[in-house]
Structure 1
Amino acid sequence: MSNQNGRPSHSLLLISIFLCILTAPATARGQEPAAPPPSSQQTPESKNSADTKEKQQGEKKKRSKLEQETGTTNDRIFEVMPNYGTVEGAEIIPRLSTGKKFKLATAGVFDYFTYPFIGTLAAIGQANNSPKSWGQGWGAYGKRYGASFADNGIGTYMTTAVFPSILREDPRYYQRGKGRFGHRAFYSISRLFVTRTDSGHTRFNFSEIVGNAVAGGISNIYHPPEDRTVSRNLNTWGMLIMWDGVSNEMKEFWPDIRRKVFRKNTP
């Protein structure tokens, strides 16, 4: 509405002023410069720190609880064979308690690879019909499987847990990793007769030699009477030590095979 001389009426003017007062704060707020978005760029120091932290977290997740507790690396040989109790380039090596020694033994005895391996040994015994009193058939195969599993399991517990705990010896295998092939091969075999103590000293490996001898003696309980002979016990004792020697050689040279054949620098 307007008056006759063309000027706005007082009512319209007051309404206009009131609307201006109401909208002024909102307009002022809308005209304030927006805060700059947070920078997505990182300094080299912060980026390196984040990368290092992420790498450490990845390594921590990759290693099992047993590996962290024992300072070992179960870097499976040819990606399938168990490699428990192996120390490969570790900077901090924790001391093994009795409980940890038994954990290492249990992991090796009941590893998934053990079952088909024992099955193969039982099949060889079945093919050779040894021992003869067990005969043939699935029942005989089961007896041979059980006996082979017991031989392996008792031997592992004796050399990795029982005697190392009693004698305070360290059952882990410490890779040499450097030097000529012959020197490293000799070192691996020598670990059958030389070991570390819990205090870090070296001495004769009683756990390996005596432990396997005791395991061979215990095997008389579940082997048939025809196998309870001195020659069979010596053969079992020698086979257990031989397998441990082969295992040491594979543990020593597997990292070289892993790097050169599988192109993997780390486990």
Structure 2
Amino acid sequence: MFTVPAFVVSSGSAQILLPEAPSHSASVPMLTSRDKFNLFLRRASSQDILVGTTFDAGWAQLMNDWPGYGQGMQGFGKRWGALIANQEARSFFGTFLLPSLFHQDPRYFRLGAGQPFSVRLAHALSRVAVTRKDDGTNTFNSSLVLSTVIVKSLSNAYYPQQERGFSHTMDRVEGSLLGSAQGYVIREFLPDIIRMCRKHESKWLKRAERKLLFSRQFDPEAYPELTAVTKKELEERANHD
């Protein structure tokens, strides 16, 4: 199913679905500390994390990365544990704790269609250093940078002995920030790719896709006039298709 991740937060009596990659020009609700904690919980329990971590652990074992962990199921388990610890710790510090302390929004805001490719690419890459504050202004992305340094430093507690130390830690910090930049580029352009693919989908498939709201995922590009909508409104739209 082609979707852009979103999460649910409480707003009065309504459950509002907020896209994790809203439009840069959209007027989206500010996230409270509770909202950021809910976003952390959603990311931490995401199937994408579990599947991606399992694949990465298998690939690391195949390439014999971190040879200190050994091979076999025990080696795979150690690699999987180290990777999932990295993911969950970074999500906690980078999505909830530091954004709450620094009053920063942990989401990525897309420029979207209508801007030149080079401008959108530069915007995506720059988000490693620049982020949006809760009041809508830009600031240094201290939440991302500090959370990366903290998590990669903590990994010295469970990485093999030969993978520990300052130089290894800084290498991991650099690699992680480059990975974040890559992720932002994907978030910027993936909805456009999805929209192109959807042009070739059948109407039946589109109706089925929109009715699968149980996963609490919402593609904002499917409803360009909306930035935050209630689940009831989404269900009504799906039923009328």
- State the distance in 2 between where 1:108 and 1:124 align: 22
Give me the whole-angstrom Cα distance separating, in 2, the residues matched to 1:64 and 1:140: 34
How far 1:92 moved relative to its partner?
A: 4.1
Residue 89 to residue 200, structure 1, CA distance change in 2 (3 Å): closer
1:215 match: secondary structure: helix
- Cα 1:239–1:153 change in 2 (3 A) is farther
TM-score (norm 1): 0.67
1:121 CA displacement = 1.0
Partner of 1:188: 124
TM-score of the pair, normalised by structure 2: 0.73
Tell me the distance in 1 between the aligned counterparts of 2:10 and 2:171. Answer: 33
Change (3 A) 1:91 1:185: closer
Whichever residue aligns with residue 83 of structure 2, its letter is: S
In the TM superposition, what is the alpha-carbon distance from 1:119 to its structure 2 partner?
1.0
2:1 is the counterpart of 1:65: no
Count how many residue pairs are aligned between Structure 1 and Structure 2. Answer: 194
Aligned match of 2:222:
266
**Structure-2 residue corresponding to 1:20:** none
Q: 1: CA distance between counterparts of 2:191 and 2:33?
A: 28
**Cα deviation 1:41-68 (Å, max 9, x = unaligned):** xxxxxxxxxxxxxxxxxxxxxx863497
Match among 91, 100, 119 for residue 35 of structure 2: 100
- Counterpart contact for 2:33–2:96, Cα < 8 Å: yes
After superposition, the Cα gap between the structure-2 partners of 1:106 and 1:234, relative to the gap in structure 1 and judged at 3 Å, is same
Bigger relative CO (Cα 8 Å, ≥ 6 apart): 2
Query: Which has the larger displacement, 90-99 or 118-127?
Result: 90-99
Answer yes or no: is 1:152 the counterpart of 2:94: no
Matched residue, 1:216? 152
1:88 CA displacement: 3.4
| Greater Cα radius of gyration, structure 1 or 2 | 1
Give the match's secondary structure for 2:85: helix
The answer (yes or no) to whether the contact 1:168–1:197 under 8 Å persists in 2 is: yes
Within the alignment, does 1:244 sit opposite 2:190 as a pair? Answer: no
* Shift, 1:90, TM fit: 7.7
Q: Which stretches in structure 2 are left out of the alignment for 5+ residues?
A: 1-5, 200-205, 207-220, 224-241
Amino acid at match of 1:65: V
- Alignment partner, residue 214 of structure 2: none
Q: Aligned-residue CA RMSD in angstroms?
A: 2.2
Gaps of 5+ in 1: 1-62, 74-84
1:173 to 96, 102, 108: 108
How far did residue 70 of structure 1 move? 7.1
Q: 2 CA distance for matches of 1:192 and 1:205?
A: 7
Q: 1:64 and 1:128 mapped to 2: Cα distance? A: 35
- Percent of aligned pairs with the same amino acid: 26
